[in-house]
Amino acid sequence: MFASHRRDKILELLHRDKQVLVKDLARMFNVSEGTLRIDLRILEDEGLLERTHGGAIPLKQQAFARDSRDPSRSQLNFEEKQAIGSKAAELVSDGQCIILDASSTVLELAKSLTDHNYLTVVTNGLETAMTLNQNPRNNVILVGGVLRVGSKTVEGVLGKDILSGIHADLFFTSSEGFSIQEGMTDFSLYEAELKKLMAGNARQTIALVDHTKLGRRSIASSVAFEEIHALITDKKADPAFLKQCQRKEVLIAD
């Protein structure tokens, strides 16, 4: 079972039982208790549960409604993501070839690109692909792979042959964490590997990261800090962290 699938199942159990215990989850998923503690920490960092001694409980106040089969994170920091997506659209010109990941932040970029023409868009996001495919002047290429359970994201590197023939101008990507040491990191190894391939087939990689992700790190590295050409974040970003990014072009979305 993929780590992302296991975490989705944990959220389902939490929704049903109102409490989960690490020892019970370890037996259920046949993984170590240490692995389950990492899962719970990641889900807590994403604002999806509250850890307790030996397990987890639902948040006392949910920030937004969740479907038990589709633990979408798209509503977290929505205004910031929308502003970042709009700012990123300013970097895209008609006729370019761009690669977009399946993140909710990059989806907001896609919504800002619907009036752009003659784009060639490569993506592993089903919703991103459908959004841009509404304009008949654009050419949308969907990267193949494994559809993540309960989501609109294609994972894995089955589409690497398609990517190997692409020479994109820009790759827009978001992540669960962004740090100077590890660069962009995600909790899914499969998602991270796909992003590495995407970055390797684009002239420039643009990181779209809201302020809550800066200075954080997750399990799997996707794009190294040295390989990122520009960072777009929001006005709540920590100035001290941005100062460390002096070697990069940093754009602040209003």
CA distance linking residue 245 with residue 122, whole number of Å? 28
Q: Which residues, 6 or more positions from 207, have their beta carbon under 8 angstroms from its beta carbon?
A: 173, 174, 175, 178, 184, 223, 228, 230, 231, 232
CA distance linking residue 128 with residue 138, whole number of Å? 13
Among left, alpha and beta (phi > 0; psi -120 to 50; other), residue 166 is beta
CA 69-83-173 angle, to 5 degrees, is: 60
| Best CA proximity match to 235, nearest among 218, 250, 217 | 250
* pLDDT recorded at residue 1: 64
Question: What CA–CA distances, in Å, run from 137 to 94, 108, 111, 202?
Answer: 10, 20, 15, 22
Per-residue pLDDT of the chain (254 residues; tens, 9 = 90+): 667 778 888 988 888 888 999 999 999 999 999 999 998 988 887 778 889 989 999 875 433 333 333 444 556 688 999 999 999 999 999 999 999 999 999 999 999 999 999 999 999 999 999 999 999 999 999 998 877 766 778 877 777 888 888 999 999 999 999 999 999 999 888 889 999 999 999 999 999 999 999 999 888 899 999 999 999 999 999 999 999 998 899 999 98
Q: Which residues, 6 or more positions from 204, have their beta carbon under 8 angstroms from its beta carbon?
A: 169, 170, 171, 229, 230
CA distance linking residue 6 with residue 188, whole number of Å? 11
130 near 124, Cβ under 8 Å?
no
76 near 63, Cβ under 8 Å?
yes
Sorted by where each starts, the structural domains of the chain and their CATH numbers stand as 3-57 (1.10.10.10), 78-253 (3.40.50.1360)
* pLDDT recorded at residue 60: 58
Starting from the edge strand earliest in sequence, which strands make up the sheet with 220-223, in order?
A: 177-179, 183-186, 220-223
CA distance linking residue 87 with residue 253, whole number of Å? 6
pTM: 0.73
* pLDDT recorded at residue 150: 62
Any idea how long the chain is? 254
Torsion, Cα 126 129 132 133, to 10 degrees, reads -110
